Amino acid sequence: MPVPFSAVMIERQFGAWFSGDFDYVAHSDWVGMDDISSWMPLAVIASEDQKFPTHWGFDVQAIQSVLDNEDGHLRGASTLSQQTAKNVFLWDGRSWVRKGLEAGLTVGIETVWTKRRILTVYLNVAEFGHGVFGVEEASRRYFHKPASRLTMSEAALLAAVLPNPIRFRADAPSAYVRQRQQWILRQMRQLGGESFLQRNKLR
């Protein structure tokens, strides 16, 4: 069942209109997991949340590390499940109120949805650039082909911009983005490649 839009898409669209940018269109083309190259889910897991198949929505160790080493600042440590909950249901930004709502929604989707469903929704609502939401739109915009045909390198490049898709660009990658792409490629290989997805019933 497609998720036609997300809270972040609505926020970006209204923000553009209020700022006078009437050309901006927050756009996503929904595709099922079978129509997404295996490299793409592997890339976002390698990049964002390597414990995704086994955790229950939260990476407790990563959260504790953030609290211990960064004075409790609300950044980092978000799992793919948390990011999906935030993107679909909540506004962008950092606050304890939003984090609390995100936690409750994360528990909900982890209870109701399978890991494959969470990953599918995430890949369809993630922001990959200015007005570009979802892997299908990103693949067609940046590589001129459907998401089903993404190569390992292309998937890693898309995953490399996810931490800040407004600042980082897949169509004009900086040296940092290229370095991050190479790191993600190494992580994808260390996870075991496509067999990792099959072992964890994500394909």
CA 186 remoteness from chain centre: 19
d(CA 57, CA 52): 8
**Residue 63 buriedness (CB in 10 A; 0-12 / 13-18 / 19+):** middle
Does 138 map to a domain?
Answer: yes
What's the number of domains the chain is made of? 1
82: amino acid identity, one letter:
Q
- Mean local confidence (pLDDT), 140-160: 98
| pTM attached to this predicted model | 0.86
Range of the domain at 113: 7-197
**pLDDT at 75 > cutoff 50:** no
Does 202 map to a domain?
Answer: no
**pLDDT at 97 > cutoff 80:** no
CATH number of domain containing 96: 1.10.3810.10
**Contacts (Cβ under 8 Å, ≥6 apart) of 11:** 91, 92
Q: What are phi and psi of 151, to 5 degrees?
A: -85, 170
Average pLDDT, whole number, for the chain?
A: 88
d(CA 124, CA 143): 17
Range of weakest confidence among 11-25, 54-68, 89-103: 54-68
Does 2 map to a domain?
Answer: no
d(CA 4, CA 177): 29
